[in-house]
Amino acid sequence: MKKEIIANERTGEKYTRVLHDSGLEILIWKMEDHSVRHAIFGTRYGSVNTTFKTKDDEDFVTVPNGIAHYLEHKLFENEDTDVFDLYAKTGAFGNAYTSFDKTCYLFSCTDNFIPSLRILLDFVQKPYFTEETVRKEQGIIGQEIRMYDDNPNWRVFFNMLEGIYHENPVKIDIAGTEESIAKINADLLYRCYNTFYDLHNMTLAIAGDVDEEEILALCDEMLIPSENKELISIVPEEPDTVAKKYCEQKLEVAVPLFNLGFKAAPVSNEDSVRCEVLSDIVLALLADETSDFYKKLYDEGLINSTFSSETFSGDGFFVPLFGGESREPEKVSELICGEIRRCMKEGFDKEQFEMIRKSYYGSIIRSLNNPEAVATSLINAGLRRAGDAFSVIEAVASVTLEDAEKFLSERFDPDNCTLSVIMPREGE
Protein backbone atom coordinates (compact mmCIF):
# COMPACT_ATOMS: atom_id res chain seq x y z
CA MET A 1 0.00 0.00 0.00
CA LYS A 2 1.33 3.43 -1.00
CA LYS A 3 0.08 6.49 0.81
CA GLU A 4 0.63 10.22 0.17
CA ILE A 5 -0.85 13.52 1.30
CA ILE A 6 -1.97 15.85 -1.47
CA ALA A 7 -1.97 19.40 -0.10
CA ASN A 8 -2.73 22.75 -1.64
CA GLU A 9 -1.18 25.96 -0.35
CA ARG A 10 -3.62 28.30 -2.03
CA THR A 11 -6.67 26.93 -0.20
CA GLY A 12 -5.01 25.32 2.82
CA GLU A 13 -6.88 22.09 2.02
CA LYS A 14 -5.54 18.55 1.81
CA TYR A 15 -6.54 14.95 1.25
CA THR A 16 -4.98 11.49 1.32
CA ARG A 17 -4.26 9.35 -1.72
CA VAL A 18 -3.74 5.65 -1.21
CA LEU A 19 -2.76 3.14 -3.87
CA HIS A 20 -4.15 -0.04 -2.38
CA ASP A 21 -2.49 -3.42 -2.95
CA SER A 22 -5.63 -4.61 -4.72
CA GLY A 23 -4.92 -2.05 -7.47
CA LEU A 24 -7.60 0.43 -6.35
CA GLU A 25 -6.88 4.12 -5.89
CA ILE A 26 -8.51 5.46 -2.69
CA LEU A 27 -8.93 9.20 -2.07
CA ILE A 28 -10.03 10.45 1.36
CA TRP A 29 -10.74 14.11 2.20
CA LYS A 30 -11.50 14.60 5.87
CA MET A 31 -14.01 17.39 6.49
CA GLU A 32 -14.55 17.93 10.17
CA ASP A 33 -17.83 19.30 11.51
CA HIS A 34 -19.90 18.10 8.59
CA SER A 35 -22.70 15.62 9.37
CA VAL A 36 -22.85 14.20 5.87
CA ARG A 37 -20.35 11.64 4.66
CA HIS A 38 -20.19 10.92 0.95
CA ALA A 39 -18.56 8.04 -0.91
CA ILE A 40 -18.26 7.37 -4.64
CA PHE A 41 -16.95 4.17 -6.20
CA GLY A 42 -16.29 4.81 -9.87
CA THR A 43 -14.89 3.11 -12.93
CA ARG A 44 -13.46 4.56 -16.11
CA TYR A 45 -16.26 3.05 -18.12
CA GLY A 46 -18.96 5.04 -19.87
CA SER A 47 -21.11 4.96 -22.96
CA VAL A 48 -18.21 5.77 -25.31
CA ASN A 49 -16.16 2.74 -24.30
CA THR A 50 -17.60 0.30 -26.80
CA THR A 51 -14.34 -0.76 -28.51
CA PHE A 52 -11.57 -2.20 -26.35
CA LYS A 53 -9.03 -4.89 -25.70
CA THR A 54 -7.15 -6.26 -22.69
CA LYS A 55 -3.91 -8.19 -22.63
CA ASP A 56 -5.99 -11.40 -22.85
CA ASP A 57 -7.62 -10.34 -26.14
CA GLU A 58 -5.94 -10.75 -29.50
CA ASP A 59 -7.78 -7.92 -31.17
CA PHE A 60 -10.15 -5.09 -30.38
CA VAL A 61 -13.78 -6.03 -29.82
CA THR A 62 -16.81 -3.77 -30.36
CA VAL A 63 -19.96 -4.28 -28.28
CA PRO A 64 -23.53 -2.85 -28.59
CA ASN A 65 -24.23 0.66 -27.29
CA GLY A 66 -25.70 1.08 -23.82
CA ILE A 67 -23.88 -1.70 -21.92
CA ALA A 68 -22.21 0.58 -19.33
CA HIS A 69 -25.59 1.98 -18.31
CA TYR A 70 -27.23 -1.46 -18.43
CA LEU A 71 -24.53 -2.84 -16.13
CA GLU A 72 -25.12 0.02 -13.70
CA HIS A 73 -28.80 -0.95 -13.48
CA LYS A 74 -28.01 -4.64 -13.03
CA LEU A 75 -25.32 -4.20 -10.38
CA PHE A 76 -27.89 -2.45 -8.24
CA GLU A 77 -29.58 -5.81 -7.89
CA ASN A 78 -27.90 -8.57 -5.87
CA GLU A 79 -28.79 -12.23 -6.18
CA ASP A 80 -31.30 -12.08 -3.35
CA THR A 81 -31.92 -8.41 -2.69
CA ASP A 82 -31.88 -4.93 -4.04
CA VAL A 83 -29.19 -2.42 -3.02
CA PHE A 84 -31.77 0.15 -1.92
CA ASP A 85 -33.03 -2.35 0.67
CA LEU A 86 -29.53 -2.78 2.04
CA TYR A 87 -28.96 0.96 2.34
CA ALA A 88 -32.36 1.27 4.01
CA LYS A 89 -30.83 -0.58 6.98
CA THR A 90 -28.04 1.96 7.42
CA GLY A 91 -30.07 5.07 6.53
CA ALA A 92 -27.82 5.90 3.58
CA PHE A 93 -29.10 7.43 0.32
CA GLY A 94 -27.71 5.32 -2.49
CA ASN A 95 -27.57 6.17 -6.16
CA ALA A 96 -25.63 5.54 -9.34
CA TYR A 97 -25.10 7.18 -12.69
CA THR A 98 -23.47 6.46 -16.01
CA SER A 99 -21.97 9.23 -18.10
CA PHE A 100 -20.09 9.24 -21.38
CA ASP A 101 -16.82 8.13 -19.81
CA LYS A 102 -17.53 6.91 -16.29
CA THR A 103 -19.91 4.91 -14.13
CA CYS A 104 -20.24 5.88 -10.47
CA TYR A 105 -21.96 4.27 -7.50
CA LEU A 106 -22.43 6.54 -4.53
CA PHE A 107 -24.08 7.01 -1.21
CA SER A 108 -24.33 9.72 1.38
CA CYS A 109 -25.18 9.14 5.01
CA THR A 110 -24.98 10.74 8.42
CA ASP A 111 -24.65 7.61 10.59
CA ASN A 112 -23.36 4.09 9.90
CA PHE A 113 -20.70 5.18 7.43
CA ILE A 114 -18.61 2.01 7.62
CA PRO A 115 -21.58 -0.40 7.27
CA SER A 116 -22.76 1.66 4.28
CA LEU A 117 -19.30 1.57 2.72
CA ARG A 118 -19.29 -2.19 3.22
CA ILE A 119 -22.51 -2.42 1.18
CA LEU A 120 -21.01 -0.27 -1.60
CA LEU A 121 -17.73 -2.21 -1.83
CA ASP A 122 -19.60 -5.49 -1.75
CA PHE A 123 -22.22 -5.05 -4.44
CA VAL A 124 -20.00 -3.31 -6.97
CA GLN A 125 -17.58 -6.26 -6.77
CA LYS A 126 -20.32 -8.88 -6.94
CA PRO A 127 -22.14 -9.01 -10.27
CA TYR A 128 -25.07 -11.32 -10.61
CA PHE A 129 -27.18 -11.63 -13.72
CA THR A 130 -29.06 -14.37 -15.51
CA GLU A 131 -30.68 -14.28 -18.94
CA GLU A 132 -34.00 -13.78 -17.20
CA THR A 133 -33.00 -10.82 -15.00
CA VAL A 134 -31.26 -9.22 -17.99
CA ARG A 135 -34.40 -9.50 -20.13
CA LYS A 136 -36.58 -7.99 -17.43
CA GLU A 137 -34.45 -4.86 -17.31
CA GLN A 138 -35.05 -4.19 -21.02
CA GLY A 139 -38.56 -2.94 -20.22
CA ILE A 140 -37.46 -0.34 -17.67
CA ILE A 141 -34.49 0.85 -19.71
CA GLY A 142 -36.66 1.07 -22.83
CA GLN A 143 -39.02 3.35 -20.88
CA GLU A 144 -36.09 5.45 -19.73
CA ILE A 145 -34.88 5.89 -23.34
CA ARG A 146 -38.39 6.85 -24.51
CA MET A 147 -38.78 9.31 -21.65
CA TYR A 148 -35.89 11.33 -23.08
CA ASP A 149 -37.54 11.40 -26.52
CA ASP A 150 -40.01 13.92 -25.04
CA ASN A 151 -37.27 16.07 -23.49
CA PRO A 152 -36.33 18.90 -25.89
CA ASN A 153 -33.24 19.92 -23.89
CA TRP A 154 -31.89 16.39 -24.19
CA ARG A 155 -32.82 16.08 -27.86
CA VAL A 156 -31.26 19.41 -28.88
CA PHE A 157 -27.98 18.31 -27.31
CA PHE A 158 -27.85 14.82 -28.84
CA ASN A 159 -28.95 16.11 -32.24
CA MET A 160 -25.97 18.49 -32.04
CA LEU A 161 -23.61 15.60 -31.19
CA GLU A 162 -24.97 13.62 -34.13
CA GLY A 163 -24.19 16.62 -36.29
CA ILE A 164 -20.67 17.01 -34.96
CA TYR A 165 -19.53 13.41 -34.94
CA HIS A 166 -19.43 10.88 -37.76
CA GLU A 167 -18.33 7.82 -35.83
CA ASN A 168 -17.66 8.69 -32.18
CA PRO A 169 -20.12 6.75 -29.96
CA VAL A 170 -20.51 9.87 -27.82
CA LYS A 171 -23.29 10.81 -30.24
CA ILE A 172 -25.42 7.85 -29.08
CA ASP A 173 -27.70 8.19 -26.05
CA ILE A 174 -25.91 6.96 -22.90
CA ALA A 175 -28.61 4.34 -22.39
CA GLY A 176 -28.19 3.12 -25.99
CA THR A 177 -31.10 2.65 -28.38
CA GLU A 178 -34.03 0.28 -28.20
CA GLU A 179 -32.33 -1.78 -30.96
CA SER A 180 -28.92 -1.86 -29.27
CA ILE A 181 -30.22 -2.86 -25.84
CA ALA A 182 -32.16 -5.74 -27.44
CA LYS A 183 -28.74 -7.26 -28.28
CA ILE A 184 -27.48 -7.17 -24.69
CA ASN A 185 -27.26 -10.51 -22.89
CA ALA A 186 -25.72 -11.91 -19.70
CA ASP A 187 -22.50 -13.00 -21.47
CA LEU A 188 -21.84 -9.52 -22.84
CA LEU A 189 -22.53 -7.98 -19.45
CA TYR A 190 -20.04 -10.31 -17.75
CA ARG A 191 -17.45 -9.68 -20.43
CA CYS A 192 -17.71 -5.89 -20.01
CA TYR A 193 -17.86 -6.18 -16.25
CA ASN A 194 -14.69 -8.25 -16.12
CA THR A 195 -12.93 -5.82 -18.44
CA PHE A 196 -13.88 -2.46 -16.93
CA TYR A 197 -14.50 -3.27 -13.27
CA ASP A 198 -10.87 -4.22 -12.79
CA LEU A 199 -9.83 -2.33 -9.62
CA HIS A 200 -6.86 -0.89 -11.54
CA ASN A 201 -9.42 0.95 -13.66
CA MET A 202 -11.37 2.31 -10.67
CA THR A 203 -11.25 4.91 -7.88
CA LEU A 204 -12.92 5.18 -4.47
CA ALA A 205 -13.49 8.77 -3.31
CA ILE A 206 -14.64 9.70 0.20
CA ALA A 207 -15.35 13.07 1.83
CA GLY A 208 -16.71 13.94 5.25
CA ASP A 209 -15.88 13.54 8.90
CA VAL A 210 -14.46 10.03 8.48
CA ASP A 211 -11.77 7.88 10.05
CA GLU A 212 -9.07 7.01 7.52
CA GLU A 213 -7.78 3.97 9.44
CA GLU A 214 -11.23 2.42 9.64
CA ILE A 215 -11.77 2.93 5.93
CA LEU A 216 -8.45 1.35 4.98
CA ALA A 217 -9.06 -1.60 7.31
CA LEU A 218 -12.40 -2.21 5.63
CA CYS A 219 -10.79 -1.92 2.20
CA ASP A 220 -8.18 -4.53 3.21
CA GLU A 221 -11.00 -6.85 4.15
CA MET A 222 -13.33 -6.21 1.24
CA LEU A 223 -11.30 -5.49 -1.88
CA ILE A 224 -10.72 -8.50 -4.08
CA PRO A 225 -7.19 -8.17 -5.52
CA SER A 226 -7.28 -8.02 -9.27
CA GLU A 227 -4.67 -8.51 -11.94
CA ASN A 228 -3.94 -5.44 -14.06
CA LYS A 229 -5.47 -6.35 -17.44
CA GLU A 230 -3.80 -3.44 -19.24
CA LEU A 231 -7.07 -2.29 -20.70
CA ILE A 232 -7.04 -0.17 -23.83
CA SER A 233 -10.26 1.48 -24.95
CA ILE A 234 -10.39 3.35 -28.26
CA VAL A 235 -12.83 5.47 -30.19
CA PRO A 236 -13.21 4.91 -33.94
CA GLU A 237 -11.25 7.11 -36.36
CA GLU A 238 -13.05 10.42 -36.55
CA PRO A 239 -12.70 12.98 -39.36
CA ASP A 240 -11.76 16.51 -38.21
CA THR A 241 -14.81 18.12 -39.75
CA VAL A 242 -18.40 18.00 -38.56
CA ALA A 243 -20.83 15.53 -40.12
CA LYS A 244 -23.64 18.09 -40.50
CA LYS A 245 -23.66 21.84 -39.98
CA TYR A 246 -27.35 22.06 -39.20
CA CYS A 247 -29.93 19.70 -37.65
CA GLU A 248 -33.52 20.41 -36.84
CA GLN A 249 -36.33 18.53 -35.08
CA LYS A 250 -39.90 19.53 -34.22
CA LEU A 251 -41.18 18.92 -30.69
CA GLU A 252 -43.67 20.31 -28.16
CA VAL A 253 -41.89 23.58 -27.34
CA ALA A 254 -43.09 27.20 -27.40
CA VAL A 255 -39.82 28.98 -28.25
CA PRO A 256 -37.13 27.30 -30.40
CA LEU A 257 -34.17 25.81 -28.52
CA PHE A 258 -30.67 25.68 -29.91
CA ASN A 259 -27.21 24.28 -29.20
CA LEU A 260 -24.20 25.52 -31.16
CA GLY A 261 -21.15 23.27 -30.69
CA PHE A 262 -17.60 23.62 -32.02
CA LYS A 263 -15.75 20.49 -33.01
CA ALA A 264 -12.36 20.66 -31.31
CA ALA A 265 -9.62 18.02 -31.25
CA PRO A 266 -9.82 15.80 -28.17
CA VAL A 267 -7.17 16.41 -25.50
CA SER A 268 -5.00 14.04 -23.48
CA ASN A 269 -5.74 13.34 -19.81
CA GLU A 270 -2.72 15.44 -18.85
CA ASP A 271 -4.02 18.47 -20.73
CA SER A 272 -7.69 18.02 -19.97
CA VAL A 273 -8.03 20.23 -16.89
CA ARG A 274 -6.10 23.14 -18.35
CA CYS A 275 -8.02 22.89 -21.64
CA GLU A 276 -11.39 22.71 -19.88
CA VAL A 277 -10.56 25.75 -17.76
CA LEU A 278 -9.36 27.66 -20.83
CA SER A 279 -12.44 26.66 -22.78
CA ASP A 280 -14.75 27.81 -19.96
CA ILE A 281 -12.90 31.12 -19.74
CA VAL A 282 -13.00 31.65 -23.51
CA LEU A 283 -16.75 30.88 -23.59
CA ALA A 284 -17.26 33.44 -20.81
CA LEU A 285 -15.07 36.06 -22.52
CA LEU A 286 -16.99 35.64 -25.75
CA ALA A 287 -20.54 35.72 -24.53
CA ASP A 288 -21.31 35.54 -20.83
CA GLU A 289 -23.16 38.35 -19.04
CA THR A 290 -19.92 40.27 -18.49
CA SER A 291 -19.43 40.65 -22.27
CA ASP A 292 -20.72 43.50 -24.42
CA PHE A 293 -21.70 40.88 -26.97
CA TYR A 294 -24.19 39.25 -24.57
CA LYS A 295 -25.84 42.63 -23.99
CA LYS A 296 -26.12 43.18 -27.72
CA LEU A 297 -27.87 39.84 -28.27
CA TYR A 298 -30.06 40.38 -25.23
CA ASP A 299 -31.08 43.95 -26.07
CA GLU A 300 -32.06 42.88 -29.56
CA GLY A 301 -34.29 40.19 -28.06
CA LEU A 302 -32.28 37.43 -29.79
CA ILE A 303 -31.57 35.55 -26.55
CA ASN A 304 -33.05 35.46 -23.06
CA SER A 305 -31.63 34.49 -19.67
CA THR A 306 -31.65 30.78 -20.60
CA PHE A 307 -28.59 31.51 -22.78
CA SER A 308 -25.57 29.69 -21.40
CA SER A 309 -22.39 27.88 -22.37
CA GLU A 310 -20.44 24.82 -21.34
CA THR A 311 -17.43 22.73 -22.22
CA PHE A 312 -18.46 19.19 -23.09
CA SER A 313 -15.36 17.07 -22.92
CA GLY A 314 -14.07 13.67 -21.96
CA ASP A 315 -12.36 10.58 -23.29
CA GLY A 316 -12.03 11.28 -27.03
CA PHE A 317 -14.34 14.31 -27.39
CA PHE A 318 -14.11 18.05 -26.84
CA VAL A 319 -16.94 20.45 -27.69
CA PRO A 320 -17.29 24.01 -26.38
CA LEU A 321 -20.93 25.00 -26.89
CA PHE A 322 -23.56 27.69 -26.47
CA GLY A 323 -27.26 27.05 -26.01
CA GLY A 324 -30.60 28.47 -24.98
CA GLU A 325 -33.90 29.68 -26.35
CA SER A 326 -34.08 31.97 -29.35
CA ARG A 327 -36.67 32.97 -31.91
CA GLU A 328 -33.82 33.33 -34.42
CA PRO A 329 -31.26 30.62 -33.70
CA GLU A 330 -29.57 30.91 -37.10
CA LYS A 331 -29.00 34.60 -36.63
CA VAL A 332 -27.58 34.01 -33.11
CA SER A 333 -25.28 31.37 -34.54
CA GLU A 334 -24.02 33.71 -37.28
CA LEU A 335 -23.42 36.49 -34.78
CA ILE A 336 -21.50 34.19 -32.41
CA CYS A 337 -19.28 33.03 -35.27
CA GLY A 338 -18.76 36.66 -36.24
CA GLU A 339 -17.79 37.53 -32.66
CA ILE A 340 -15.29 34.66 -32.62
CA ARG A 341 -13.66 35.97 -35.81
CA ARG A 342 -13.57 39.48 -34.35
CA CYS A 343 -11.91 38.28 -31.12
CA MET A 344 -9.41 36.19 -33.08
CA LYS A 345 -8.35 39.39 -34.83
CA GLU A 346 -8.62 41.92 -32.02
CA GLY A 347 -7.92 39.80 -28.93
CA PHE A 348 -9.72 39.78 -25.59
CA ASP A 349 -10.08 42.47 -22.96
CA LYS A 350 -7.53 42.08 -20.15
CA GLU A 351 -9.81 43.50 -17.47
CA GLN A 352 -12.67 41.17 -18.36
CA PHE A 353 -10.25 38.24 -18.38
CA GLU A 354 -9.14 38.99 -14.80
CA MET A 355 -12.72 39.40 -13.66
CA ILE A 356 -13.76 36.05 -15.10
CA ARG A 357 -10.76 34.38 -13.53
CA LYS A 358 -11.69 35.78 -10.11
CA SER A 359 -15.24 34.62 -10.56
CA TYR A 360 -14.03 31.13 -11.50
CA TYR A 361 -11.87 31.04 -8.35
CA GLY A 362 -14.90 31.96 -6.22
CA SER A 363 -17.01 29.22 -7.78
CA ILE A 364 -14.36 26.64 -6.85
CA ILE A 365 -14.21 27.86 -3.24
CA ARG A 366 -18.00 27.68 -3.08
CA SER A 367 -17.94 24.12 -4.36
CA LEU A 368 -15.81 23.09 -1.36
CA ASN A 369 -18.80 23.80 0.88
CA ASN A 370 -20.15 20.28 1.17
CA PRO A 371 -18.87 16.68 1.20
CA GLU A 372 -20.85 15.69 -1.88
CA ALA A 373 -19.20 18.33 -4.07
CA VAL A 374 -15.79 17.54 -2.62
CA ALA A 375 -16.17 13.79 -3.22
CA THR A 376 -17.26 14.56 -6.78
CA SER A 377 -14.14 16.65 -7.40
CA LEU A 378 -12.05 13.76 -5.99
CA ILE A 379 -13.62 11.11 -8.22
CA ASN A 380 -13.22 13.32 -11.28
CA ALA A 381 -9.56 13.85 -10.48
CA GLY A 382 -9.02 10.16 -9.72
CA LEU A 383 -10.67 8.79 -12.84
CA ARG A 384 -8.86 11.34 -14.99
CA ARG A 385 -5.61 9.58 -14.00
CA ALA A 386 -3.70 12.87 -14.22
CA GLY A 387 -3.14 15.75 -11.83
CA ASP A 388 -5.11 15.97 -8.59
CA ALA A 389 -8.24 17.55 -7.15
CA PHE A 390 -6.47 20.93 -6.96
CA SER A 391 -5.51 20.94 -10.63
CA VAL A 392 -8.55 23.04 -11.51
CA ILE A 393 -7.82 25.81 -9.04
CA GLU A 394 -4.14 25.81 -10.04
CA ALA A 395 -5.05 25.99 -13.72
CA VAL A 396 -7.34 28.94 -13.02
CA ALA A 397 -4.49 30.65 -11.20
CA SER A 398 -1.91 30.07 -13.91
CA VAL A 399 -3.61 30.61 -17.28
CA THR A 400 -2.91 33.89 -19.04
CA LEU A 401 -4.78 36.10 -21.46
CA GLU A 402 -2.39 34.96 -24.20
CA ASP A 403 -3.28 31.32 -23.42
CA ALA A 404 -6.96 32.17 -23.82
CA GLU A 405 -6.37 33.91 -27.15
CA LYS A 406 -4.30 31.01 -28.43
CA PHE A 407 -6.98 28.57 -27.29
CA LEU A 408 -9.65 30.54 -29.12
CA SER A 409 -7.79 30.44 -32.41
CA GLU A 410 -6.96 26.75 -32.09
CA ARG A 411 -10.25 25.32 -30.91
CA PHE A 412 -13.14 27.56 -31.89
CA ASP A 413 -13.41 27.15 -35.63
CA PRO A 414 -16.49 29.05 -36.89
CA ASP A 415 -16.37 26.95 -40.05
CA ASN A 416 -16.43 23.68 -38.17
CA CYS A 417 -19.45 23.86 -35.92
CA THR A 418 -22.95 22.38 -35.74
CA LEU A 419 -26.16 24.24 -35.03
CA SER A 420 -28.94 22.06 -33.63
CA VAL A 421 -32.43 23.50 -33.34
CA ILE A 422 -35.69 22.25 -31.84
CA MET A 423 -38.61 24.02 -33.52
CA PRO A 424 -42.17 24.18 -32.23
CA ARG A 425 -44.60 21.93 -34.07
CA GLU A 426 -46.40 23.78 -36.83
CA GLY A 427 -49.87 25.18 -36.33
CA GLU A 428 -49.46 25.43 -32.56
Partner 1 sequence: MSITRRKKYIGDKDRGVALTVLTDKKLKTNSFIIHFINPLERETAAASAAVAFMLEDTCREYPDITSFSRRLAELYGANIRGGISRFSDSQVITFSGSCISDKYALEGEKVSAELLELLCGCIFDPVTENDSFSEKLFRLKKQELIDDIDADINDKRIYALKKAGEMIFAGEPAGIAVRGERADAEALTCDMVFKAYKKLLSSAKIEIIFVGCELPEECEKMLDEKFSALDRSEVYLPEIKRSPAKSEVINETERLDVTQSKMVMAFKFTERNLPVEKIFTAVYGGTPFSLLFKNVREKLSLCYYCSASLKSKKGVIMVDSGVENANISAAREEILRQLEAVRNGDFSNELLEDSKRYMVSALKSVNDTPRAVADWYYSYCLDSEEETCSPEQFIEKIEAVTKDDVTAFARSVTLDTVYVLTSKED
Would residue 72 show up in a list of annotated catalytic residues for this protein?
A: yes
Cα 126 vs. chain centroid, distance in angstroms?
25
Q: Which is nearer to partner 1, 88 or 217 (CB)?
A: 88
Determine the Cα angle at 367 with ends 19 and 37, to 5°.
Answer: 55
Number of H helices, E strands in the chain: 15, 15
How does DSSP classify residue 425?
P
Residue 149 binds partner 1 (CB under 8 A)? yes
Q: Count other C-beta atoms under 10 Å from residue 42's C-beta.
A: 25
Burial 331-357 (b: 16+ CB within 10 A, else e): ebbebbbebbeebeeeebbeebbeebb
Instruction: Please select the residue that binds partner 1; options are 35, 62, 269, 398, rule is CB under 8 A.
Output: 35
Residue 206 binds partner 1 (CB under 8 A)? no
Rounded least distance, CB 11 to partner 1, Å = 8
Q: Read out DSSP for 329-378?
A: HHHHHHHHHHHHHHHHHH---HHHHHHHHHHHHHHHHHHTTSHHHHHHHH
Residue 94 binds partner 1 (CB under 8 A)? yes
Rounded least distance, CB 81 to partner 1, Å = 10
Q: Among residues 13, 58, 72, 137, which one is catalytic?
A: 72
Instruction: Please select the residue that binds partner 1; options are 5, 9, 59, 254, rule is CB under 8 A.
Output: 254
- The stretch among 90-98, 180-188, 264-272, 331-339 that binds partner 1 (CB under 8 A) is 90-98
Contact call for residues 211 and 385 (beta carbons, < 8 A): no
Contact call for residues 108 and 35 (beta carbons, < 8 A): no
Residue 359 binds partner 1 (CB under 8 A)? yes
Residue 97 binds partner 1 (CB under 8 A)? no
Rounded least distance, CB 23 to partner 1, Å = 31
Residue 179 binds partner 1 (CB under 8 A)? no
Residue 366 binds partner 1 (CB under 8 A)? yes
Residue 401 binds partner 1 (CB under 8 A)? no
Residue 356 binds partner 1 (CB under 8 A)? yes
Count the site residues for partner 1 by CB under 8 A. Answer: 67
Residue 135 binds partner 1 (CB under 8 A)? no
Rounded least distance, CB 259 to partner 1, Å = 14
β-partners of residue 208 are 30
Q: Which residues, 6+ apart, have CB-to-CB distance to 144 below 8 Å?
A: 175
- d(CA 361, CA 356) in angstroms, rounded, equals 9
Residue 66 binds partner 1 (CB under 8 A)? no
Q: Which is nearer to partner 1, 49 or 90 (CB)?
A: 90
Contact call for residues 108 and 96 (beta carbons, < 8 A): no
Closest CA to 306 of 364, 250, 271, 254: 254
- The stretch among 15-23, 210-218, 287-295, 334-342 that binds partner 1 (CB under 8 A) is 287-295
Return the residues of window 315-344 that contact partner 1 according to CB under 8 A. 325
Residue 399 binds partner 1 (CB under 8 A)? no
Angle in degrees, 0-180, between the axes of helices 269-287 and 292-299, rounded to the nearest 10: 50
Residue 290 binds partner 1 (CB under 8 A)? yes
Strands 2-8, 103-109: parallel, antiparallel or unpaired by DSSP? unpaired
Q: Which residues are catalytic?
A: 72
Q: Provide the binding-site residues for partner 1, judged by CB under 8 A.
A: 32-36, 82, 84-85, 88-94, 108-111, 136, 139-140, 143-144, 146-147, 149-153, 251-255, 257, 288-292, 294-295, 298-299, 301, 304-306, 325, 352, 355-356, 358-363, 365-366, 368-371, 425
